[in-house]
Amino acid sequence: MGQKEDLTGSEKSKIVRYLAEGCSNLKIAKLLKRDHRTIKRFIQNSQQGRKKRVEKPRRKITSHELRKVKRAAAKMPLATSLAIFQSCNITGVPKSTRCAILRDMAKVRKAERRPPLNKTHKLKRQDWAKKYLKTDFSKVLWTDEMRVSLDGPDGWARGWIGKGQRAPVPLRRQQGGGGVLVWAGIIKDELVGPFRVEDGVKLNSQSYCQFLEDTFFKQWYRKKSASFKKNMIFMQDNAPSHASKYSTVWLARKGIKEEKLMTWPPCSPDLNPIENLWSITKCEIYKEGKQYTSLNSVWEAVVAAARNVDGEQIKTLTESMDGRLLSVLAKKGGYIGR
Residues 6+ apart with CB under 8 A from 119: none
What's the burial of 159, exposed, middle or buried (CB within 10 Å: 0-12/13-18/19+)? buried
Confidence of residue 256 (pLDDT cuts 50, 70, 90): very high
Cis peptide before 194 (omega within 30 of 0): yes
Q: What is the residue-averaged pLDDT of the chain?
A: 86
Long-range contacts of 34-40 (CB under 8 A, 24+ apart): 34/1, 34/4, 34/7, 35/1, 35/2, 35/3, 35/4, 37/3, 38/3, 38/4, 38/7, 39/15
Angle value at C-alpha 277, between 279 and 326, nearest 5 degrees: 105
Amino acid 47 reads: Q
Q: Is the dihedral of CA 13, 19, 23, 24 positive or negative?
A: positive
Name the residue among 37, 28, 26 with its Cα closest to residue 2. 37
Which tens digit of pLDDT belongs to each residue from 259-315? Answer: 999 999 999 999 999 999 999 999 899 887 788 889 999 999 999 999 999 999 999
**With contact defined as beta carbons under 8 Å apart, do 132 and 328 qualify?**
no
**With contact defined as beta carbons under 8 Å apart, do 182 and 303 qualify?**
no
**With contact defined as beta carbons under 8 Å apart, do 110 and 77 qualify?**
no
Which tens digit of pLDDT belongs to each residue from 43-95? Answer: 877 665 545 555 566 667 888 999 999 998 888 877 888 889 999 999 888 88
pLDDT above 80 (res 322) = yes
pLDDT above 80 (res 152) = no
Residue 162, beta-bridge partner list: 106
How many Å apart are CA 6 and CA 153, to the nearest integer? Answer: 40
How many Å apart are CA 199 and CA 218, to the nearest integer? Answer: 20
Amino acid 187 reads: I
Confidence of residue 6 (pLDDT cuts 50, 70, 90): confident
Confidence of residue 191 (pLDDT cuts 50, 70, 90): very high
Question: In the Cβ-directed half-sphere of 287, how many Cα atoms lie within 13 Å?
Answer: 9
**With contact defined as beta carbons under 8 Å apart, do 208 and 241 qualify?**
yes
Question: In the Cβ-directed half-sphere of 105, how many Cα atoms lie within 13 Å?
Answer: 16
**With contact defined as beta carbons under 8 Å apart, do 172 and 144 qualify?**
no
Confidence of residue 159 (pLDDT cuts 50, 70, 90): low
- Give the start-to-end residue ranges of the domains of the chain: 9-44, 63-105, 119-155+176-331
pLDDT, position 193: 94
pLDDT, position 2: 47
How many Å apart are CA 27 and CA 104, to the nearest integer? Answer: 57
| DSSP reduced 3-state for 235 | strand
| DSSP code at position 79 | B
Which tens digit of pLDDT belongs to each residue from 194-243? Answer: 999 999 899 999 999 999 999 999 999 999 999 999 999 999 999 999 99
**CATH 3.40.1190.20 for domain 119-155+176-331:** no
Which tens digit of pLDDT belongs to each residue from 93-131? Answer: 888 888 888 988 887 776 566 778 999 999 999 999 999
Out of 132-141, 158-167, 200-209, 311-320, pick the least confident: 158-167
Dihedral of CA atoms 225, 230, 235, 236 in degrees, nearest 10, equals 80
Instruction: Report the b/e string of 92-129 with b at 16+ CB within 10 A.
Output: ebeeebbeebbeebbeebebeeeeebeeebbebbbebb
| DSSP reduced 3-state for 247 | helix
